[in-house]
Amino acid sequence: MAVKIRLKRLGKIRAPYYRIVVADSRTKRDGRVIEEIGKYHPTESPSFIEVDSERAQYWLSVGAQPTEQVEAILKLTGDWGKFKGDKNAVSTVKVAEPKAAFVADDKKKPVLKPKSEKPAPKAEEAEVAADASTDEA
C-alpha cells in the first residue's frame, strides 16, 4: 500500500488550518486517514506547527512518503533531519510569546453597578389596593 504523509484541510474559506495526516495515496485529500500526527495553522503569527515526532519517525521508517509541503514542515521541526541521520537536527520553529495577563484598572469605576435591593412598599401598595377593591364590592 502506498502511504503518504500529507495535509488535510480544515477551516473556513479564507481561514485554512491543516492536520498532518498519514493516508493511503489513493484517497481524497480530506478523505479517510490512517492516523493524524500533527497540526499546522498557517494564518497565525508565527505559524502554529505541532508534530508528534515519534509517530512521524515511525511512518517515515516504514516507507511513508511526505508531500513537498509536509517535508518542509518536517525540516522545520527537525524530524526530517533525524530521519536522514543528521545527529544535529534541531527544531527551528519559533515559539509565540505568551500573552500578558489582563489586569483591571483600580482607578476607574466598574462599568456594572451592583444591584441594590428593590423597595418593598410596592408589594404593600398592591396588597392595600387589593383590600380596597374587595371592600368596595
pLDDT tens-digit readout, 42-82: 998 888 999 998 999 999 999 999 999 999 999 988 888 88
- Is 106 domain-assigned? no
Helix (H, G, I), strand (E, B) or coil at 47: coil
**What CATH number is given to the structural domain containing 42?**
3.30.1320.10
Task: Look at residue 25 and tell me if it is in a domain.
Answer: yes
| Average pLDDT of the residues of the chain | 83
Q: What is the mean pLDDT of residues 107-120?
A: 68
Confidence grade of residue 120 (pLDDT, cut at 50, 70, 90):
low
Angle between helix 53-61 and helix 68-77 axes, rounded to 10 deg = 130
| Sheet with strand 65-66: strands edge to edge | 48-51, 35-41, 15-24, 3-12, 65-66
Segments forming the whole domain that contains residue 13: 3-84
The yes-or-no verdict on residue 19 having pLDDT over 70 is yes
Q: What is the pTM of this model?
A: 0.67
Average of pLDDT values for 9-38?
92
Q: Are 31 and 49 in contact (CB under 8 A)?
A: no
Residue 127 lies in a domain: no
* Averaged pLDDT for residues 96-121: 72
Q: In total, how many domains does the chain have? A: 1
Within-domain flag for 92:
no
